[in-house]
Amino acid sequence: MKKKLKKINETEKEYWNEGKLERSKIKKLRRHAFYYSYKREKKILDKLLKDFNNKKVLEIGSYSWAAWFNENTAPKSLTCINISEKELEKGKHLASKKDFEINHHLMDANNLTFENGSFDIVFGGAILHHLDIKKTIHHIHRVLKPGGKIIFLEPLNMNPLYKIYRKMNPKERTPDEHALVSSDFKIIREKFTFDHYFFDFFTVLFGFISLKIFGDKKYDNWINKLGFNLDVFFSKITLLHSLFARVIIYGSKK
Ligand SMILES: C[S@@+](CC[C@H](N)C(=O)[O-])C[C@H]1O[C@@H](n2cnc3c(N)ncnc32)[C@H](O)[C@@H]1O
């Protein structure tokens, strides 16, 4: 039987409030595998974030904004929601240094309580895959103004290699999270037109090798650079998208 959303939310809250994930192994790999793709990601986000200025913006599963925003990002207001008190507190601490309006709410992203048409943009980093995507997409669509925009950066789970890795390393993830698969894209497409950037297939394979050779240092090496260049090239081929580990989705409300 499908696990009840209430129970899933309780577990998510507990994991994030108590910092229960064990990610030291994957963090080492990421420092190699994502070294160059983080720079590409930042460039793309900088371009997309130009839209945020003077807009009413909502981040679900906040606080990615602290990493995403650059010194020129100045929304009219930023509303941050999270199901975890601890995550919200971290965001509040970072928000004290900003000079645009930032407000925080303890709220379930599956059941947004904002009025219809409250925001120009809804965004999030690594959050949709913690949620009931159908419910959340319905609410995001509802709280956006006509023509409102979305930007999400999410992990993918379509490559069998990642599926095996995830099975072997369950403590790196919350029990109910589900990196996106093609049926999730279908759900988003019902309510939004969107495009994407895919990241990290060869970078992961080459990152493994680089980590073995260099250990947890010297991430800017030719092995990682080669993996990155192969990714940029092959990510343009639609048929290969399911190989990749992460995606930026950006689009508009239908
Ligand atoms: C992988 S973390 C991403 C955090 C942040 N967006 C970032 O990129 O650093 C997932 C976040 O989703 C939050 N979360 C999980 N379920 C949620 C829900 N139902 N509503 C709102 N936030 C939720 C967690 O508390 C956690 O902060």
Q: How far is the CA of 207 from the centre of ligand 1 (A)?
A: 26
Name beta bridge partners: 78. 57, 102
| pLDDT per residue as tens digits for the range 56-87 | 999 999 999 999 999 999 999 999 999 999 99
Q: Are 164 and 202 in contact (CB under 8 A)?
A: no
Which residue owns the Cα nearest ligand 1 atom 12?
61
pLDDT at 168 over 80: yes
Average pLDDT over residues 103-118: 98
Upper half-sphere CA count for residue 224 (Cβ side, 13 Å): 24
Give mean pLDDT, residues 119-125.
98
Task: List Cβ neighbours of 183 (8 Å cut-off, separation of 6 or more).
Answer: none
Domains and CATH numbers, the chain: 5-253 (3.40.50.150)
What's the Cα-to-Cα distance from 143 to each of 120, 138, 139, 199, rounded to whole Å? 9, 9, 6, 29
How far away, in angstroms, is 127 Cα from ligand 1 center? 5
pLDDT at residue 99 in the model: 86
pLDDT in tens, 188-246: 999 999 999 999 999 999 999 999 999 999 999 999 999 999 999 999 999 999 999 99
**Residues in contact with ligand 1 (CB, 6 Å cut-off):** 9, 12, 16, 60-61, 63-64, 81-84, 87, 108-110, 124-127, 130-131
Nearest to 222 by CA among 38, 43, 35: 35
pTM: 0.96
